[in-house]
A and B are shown apart, each in its own frame.
Chain A
Amino acid sequence: NAGVMQNPRHLVRRRGQEARLRCSPMKGHSHVYWYRQLPEEGLKFMVYLQKENIIDESGMPKERFSAEFPKEGPSILRIQQVVRGDSAAYFCASSPAQGGVAEAFFGQGTRLTVV
């Protein structure tokens, strides 16, 4: 039973490029949460999605960031025109229902480096 799969594990982008981070939830899970972790800090909530719906994106920066969770396929976190400050580890977690993060399992993260 595969866990939450995130890819790529490491991503290097030049300033101004786009970054696409993918998250495949655990089998049977329909809720996905994205978090960002800056070095030496805890995780910060970004967005909560269900299949085809964004439930809460109050933690997402207003510009350049978007997320989706289509009916088929993984959830995607997209960062357009990346800047150095976007360098961080991005984690997704999935849960079978709205049990919140306490019921969720985290993936291994994607470490984005903007050069």
Chain B
Amino acid sequence: KAGVTQTPRYLIKTRGQQVTLSCSPISGHRSVSWYQQTPGQGLQFLFEYFSETQRNKGNFPGRFSGRQFSNSRSEMNVSTLELGDSALYLCASSNRPPLAGGFGTGELFFGEGSRLTVL
């Protein structure tokens, strides 16, 4: 069974640009969540999608957005990039629907991430 696939794996952008990252979950998984990982802040929750609907959102500015398609694939977009957006962006999928108010029981399967460098 294929794992969670994220593309691109590495990318370099300049300040002010925008970026779109893609995530294909494990086949049959309908819940996709996104995380930002930096050395200073660790892993931080961005948002979660289930059945094409955003079910939960972390504490990030509106420049960070996402969506989920009918085949459960998800994209996240960061507009007007800042230097501080340099990070590893991780996507995770789950076969459990979110509990009321969000998440689930923590059984996430992570991709290898997209490493974004903003110059």
Q: Do A and B bind each other?
A: no
